[in-house]
Structure 1
Amino acid sequence: MSLSTREFQRVLDAHADELAGARIQRVRAPDDHTLLLTLHRAPTTREWLVSLRSPLCRVHPTTRRLASTPQPSAFVMLLRKHLTGARVIDVERPTDDRWIRLHTRRGDERASLVIALLGRDATVLLLDAQGHVLGDHAGRRATGALHVPPSPPSTRAAPDHRDRFPVPDAALAEAIDAHYARRAEDIERTTAIDRRRHALRRERRRAERLRDALLRDLERVDEAPALRHRADLLQTARGRVRRGDRSVTVQDWAQPDSPEVILPLDPALDLEAQIARAYHQARRLERGADTVLRRLEEAEGRVGTFAGLEEQLARVEDSGDWGALPDLLGRIDEALPGRARGRARGARRAAPAPRLPYIRYRASDGTPILVGRGGRDNDTLTVQIAHGHDLWLHAEDWAGAHVVIRRPRGATVRPEVVEEAALLAAHHSRGRSDTVVGVRVTERRHVRKARDLPPGRVLVAGGRTVEVSPSGDPRLPALLARREDAAG
């Protein structure tokens, strides 16, 4: 189970001096459900683990070396943007619940990080200075919504005061880390066993269905001699059968006394066609006999293999002989066909590349210029992706895209780059056919998104106006050709 209220409070009490005043040096993610925050407060630097994986929700310092995921999520990137280098100036937490709010400051920027381990609602929130949501790990709260602290525990459930770690506070984090490492290993092992068991059962049943179908085909193979004998008898009726006849009487010379037998006919076919069909059916069954027997042997072998592996897996699980499990799982994976092997290992199809909310262009000197794709994408580009020192542009008096010029802090953007970005802002607006379009240019820090504004609308303070001619500037075609993500 996750950390109880008592255990959660013990962790925070034991390390309270390390939180207030600490600087956030690094934010990373080992997986989709875990965050690692590196906090430094002289003389101590600790990495704090935040797990939102049920039933392993917890927060505590850790000394384990966990590798970061190669592709951090958008939420992790958002945390890095707003928290890296920030200092924790205040710690807000109730004494009878499992959430904490770290208020941070970096220069003039203020933000706060909320870590809430509230059962199924466990999440991490990033809030701005006014308490509006900038990002939600769980994705349940809309960007810009005002954060409301969780209701008191008495309105949800009684606080859980269990304490499973009878160790001194100095050893508490290490004990919690070791406990949940074992729990994670148990869950991973159980998941691996369940996936293999289900895959083996599914493939065994598939092989059993194939075996039963082949047995039915094998029964039809016995019909081949009768079909060939019928064709031989029909040959003796040549000259006596016309198209449309429904039967013919012939002597069955293969039986004692050569009795007369009545053979049914297909009135839609002439006699030669019926003779050829009977011989063809006989030959097909005779040729298929070897194939059916071979496939039947293979199917029965697969049934036996999968059933045997199921029994071995059950014995290992019952005996708890986990040392033999890796080898057995490897043999199961080798026995499973490719499609089932991937499911048994928990493999997922490669996710498509995420859709970016902007189009990327390159200015003539290589400077990146980002152009929003639409209303909500404009908000995402301006509020979540652009830095405060980036330049922000928008066509005046026209609906259009937000445009951002990336620039390092303190760097100067060349005037021709600003003009090229202004051309893109005018081109991606409803004023693209005008002779002259004014484009507002300001730093991103002077652009604000109010809660009641529709998607794409922002409040802009200060800045200057650059006039461009999107319908006649010869630089525009070359600039559009330097689009880097034309596929979207």
Structure 2
Amino acid sequence: MSFDGFFTHAMVHELDQTLTTGRVARVSQPYPAELIITIRAYRHNHALLLSANPTYPRIQITTIPYSNPAVPTNFTMTLRKYLEGAILHSIEQVGNDRIIKLTFDTRDELGDSQQLVLVSEIMARHSNISLVNHKTGKIIDTIKHVGSDQNRVRLLLPGATFVMPPKQDKLDPYLPNQLYSDLVRQYQDPRELAHQLQQGYEGLGTDTARDLANRLLASDHLPTAYQQFIQHFNSPDPVIINDKRKSFMVFPPLNTEEDTLQHYPTLSEMLDNYYAQKAQQDRSKELAGQVIKVIKNELKKDRRKVKKFNQQLADADAADRYRIRGEILTTYLGKLKPGMKEITLPNFYDDNKPLKIKLAPELSPSRNAQKYFTKYDKLKASVAHVNEQMKLTNDEIAYFENIQNQIDLAEPSDIQEIRLELQQQGYIKGKKQKSKKRRKVRLSKPEQFHTSDGTLVLVGKNNLQNDRLSFKTANKNEIWLHVKDIPGSHVVIRSTDPSEQTILEAAQLAAYFSKGRDSDNVPVDYLPVKRLHKPNGAKPGFVTFTGQKTLYVTPHKLAN
């Protein structure tokens, strides 16, 4: 099920029972398109998540931890000004659409009571969150500003009058109607009936429509089947369906195998579980927008450099052709006349076959010959320099590809450290500190896992963590692992004499936290930490080592 109008109805019912009459304790915006309002209700603090993320828009109570940015956004500051201390008066759904209005009772600067409405629109890339003055209908601010150049129908800007999205010409399924009965008489195919139900009723997503169609076609009494279906959304039994396409529903669909269902006490807990990994990865990439852009630009420049260096090396391989022409011109110098543009002479390196040689008419015969020798010497001398630059550029490409791999597996908290690393390396400009004392950034700890025999394994999630793990945290006799010849995390087994099974499981973990995680057979090197070496001037995360052994494993993530 998508977050359709029916799911919204069930969620509003859940939130209304949990949050209404609660007081706003705090407003946070940990991610660009996501807002968290902490509401104190019935002696408990609840973190209400409103997401206008185009991929995962939703509203729910969340327990997933988050960290706020160092500097709050203008939208955050506006909401803190108007909403902190306000009482949540009501939570309402507009029709059966994916629009939710949260009405707050508060006081203005003069102490007079006023009502403010926070409107959450859950509409894919058009999702938005707007704070509106209930009396005037004017927008105070929105999480996404939408001007007339983006939408001619609705202005979503501070000071503009808030206008609801155009209403669809469809029935509200919660109002008395007989449309479902008429459609069942006309359509007996479940897919066609589901499609027609979607066309007729407001807020009916594809999965919900299919379940309703199946229930109507299987029933002998349509009004009862329809009313039971509608009532399910007021008393949910939230489930995640683990079949070919993992999905969530307010209640189990008709004829679904019980062993594919995972039940949850609330819709919010179900969504936390469903989105835990997907949303975290998306949040990480959203926060890493600047980092990803920098990496792509640097990789583009470096790959262009490599192409240029390869051309220079190809030219250097052909350097002998310039030497041969210089020697032939020197041998037959008497045949050259001033002003000649080319001359054909016997090539004594190739059975005296005729060889056409281009000349610079403005140069003397001897200078023309010298020109070829100079080009030969220059090309030969450039080989060592080009090879050195080629190695540095390829190392930098490997470095950035490694960071790309880290971003793919990063949690939002890891992105700050990756950005810090790029600032330290000079790829991203850091913000100027007003104070002379620089605030020291505390690095997060490596991720912890345990093998089947209980041995602790640590995994670095970024290069700064990798360096600290390998050269400060790890004991010199503990075992260090890394995938062979591809980007990946540093992994340390906190044991000086681990079992073969522990080494195997740690190697599977190293393969999982690498670019080879989707492969079936990944080589992983392992050795004592004391054999690692950090070359002077090497980039973060880069090490050399000797005396390693290699295992071939299938990537697998252990339990934390």
State the TM-score, normalized to the length of structure 2. 0.46
Rounded to whole Å, the distance in 2 between the matches of 1:17 and 1:183 is 28
In structure 1, give the amino acid aligned to 2:272: D
Change beyond 3 A, Cα 1:188–1:228: farther
Partner of residue 6, structure 2: 6
Deviation at 1:174, TM superposition (A): 1.1
Change beyond 3 A, Cα 1:254–1:144: closer
Rounded to whole Å, the distance in 2 between the matches of 1:138 and 1:303 is 40
Change beyond 3 A, Cα 1:154–1:286: same
Partner of residue 90, structure 2: 90
Rounded to whole Å, the distance in 2 between the matches of 1:40 and 1:77 is 20
8 Å CA contact 2:9–2:93 kept in 1: the answer is: no
8 Å CA contact 2:25–2:39 kept in 1: the answer is: yes
Partner of residue 225, structure 1: 324
Partner of residue 151, structure 1: 166
Partner of residue 26, structure 1: 26
Deviation at 1:103, TM superposition (A): 2.0
Rounded to whole Å, the distance in 2 between the matches of 1:62 and 1:260 is 83
Change beyond 3 A, Cα 1:42–1:50: same
In structure 1, give the amino acid aligned to 2:328: H
Q: 2:126 aligns with which of 93, 106, 121?
A: 121
Deviation at 1:181, TM superposition (A): 1.2
Partner of residue 277, structure 2: 182
Rounded to whole Å, the distance in 2 between the matches of 1:182 and 1:87 is 33
- Where does structure 1 differ by over 6 angstroms across 4 or more consecutive aligned residues? 188-192, 194-202, 245-250, 252-256, 258-265, 300-307, 327-330, 347-353
8 Å CA contact 2:53–2:125 kept in 1: the answer is: no
In structure 2, give the amino acid aligned to 1:172: L
1:164 counterpart = 2:255? no
Rounded to whole Å, the distance in 2 between the matches of 1:246 and 1:203 is 39
Deviation at 1:220, TM superposition (A): 4.0
In structure 2, give the amino acid aligned to 1:146: T
Rounded to whole Å, the distance in 2 between the matches of 1:61 and 1:263 is 80
For structure 2, the 5+ residue unaligned runs are 147-155, 171-197, 209-247, 252-261, 411-417, 434-560
CA RMSD of aligned residues (A): 5.1
SS class of match (1:125)? strand
Rounded to whole Å, the distance in 1 between the matches of 2:21 and 2:347 is 108
Change beyond 3 A, Cα 1:13–1:248: closer
1:278 counterpart = 2:369? yes
Rounded to whole Å, the distance in 2 between the matches of 1:93 and 1:57 is 16
Rounded to whole Å, the distance in 1 between the matches of 2:49 and 2:344 is 90
8 Å CA contact 1:14–1:169 kept in 2: the answer is: no
SS class of match (2:374)? helix
8 Å CA contact 1:18–1:41 kept in 2: the answer is: yes
8 Å CA contact 1:30–1:69 kept in 2: the answer is: yes
Deviation at 1:121, TM superposition (A): 1.7
Larger of the two Rg values belongs to structure:
1
Partner of residue 292, structure 1: 383
Change beyond 3 A, Cα 1:326–1:222: same
Identity of aligned residues (%): 19
Change beyond 3 A, Cα 1:95–1:185: same
Question: How many residues were matched structurally?
Answer: 318
Equivalent positions of 1:185-264 (< 5 A) are 185=280, 187=282, 207-208=306-307, 210-234=309-333, 236=334
In structure 2, give the amino acid aligned to 1:148: V
Rounded to whole Å, the distance in 2 between the matches of 1:297 and 1:139 is 50
Change beyond 3 A, Cα 1:197–1:32: closer
Deviation at 1:92, TM superposition (A): 3.2
Deviation at 1:268, TM superposition (A): 3.4
Partner of residue 76, structure 1: 76
Deviation at 1:127, TM superposition (A): 0.9
Q: Deviations over 1:265-312 (max 9, x none)?
A: 65534x3xx4134214313313422423763697599889989x99x9
Partner of residue 40, structure 1: 40
SS class of match (1:8)? helix
SS class of match (1:15)? helix
Rounded to whole Å, the distance in 2 between the matches of 1:278 and 1:25 is 85
Q: Deviations over 1:98-135 (max 9, x none)?
A: 11112222232432211111222210111123111111
SS class of match (1:149)? coil
Q: Deviations over 1:141-190 (max 9, x none)?
A: 13222212233344697423535254777432111111111222465799
Deviation at 1:230, TM superposition (A): 1.0
Rounded to whole Å, the distance in 2 between the matches of 1:50 and 1:261 is 77
Change beyond 3 A, Cα 1:299–1:265: closer
Equivalent positions of 1:85-484 (< 5 A) are 85-107=85-107, 108=112, 109-128=114-133, 129-140=135-146, 141-154=156-169, 158-161=202-205, 162=208, 164-166=249-251, 170-185=265-280, 187=282, 207-208=306-307, 210-234=309-333, 236=334, 267-269=361-363, 271=364, 274-292=365-383, 295=386
8 Å CA contact 2:55–2:125 kept in 1: the answer is: no
8 Å CA contact 2:94–2:101 kept in 1: the answer is: no
Rounded to whole Å, the distance in 2 between the matches of 1:204 and 1:245 is 41
8 Å CA contact 2:12–2:91 kept in 1: the answer is: no
Change beyond 3 A, Cα 1:34–1:187: closer
Rounded to whole Å, the distance in 2 between the matches of 1:2 and 1:351 is 41
Change beyond 3 A, Cα 1:159–1:350: farther
State the TM-score, normalized to the length of structure 1. 0.52
8 Å CA contact 1:2–1:56 kept in 2: the answer is: no
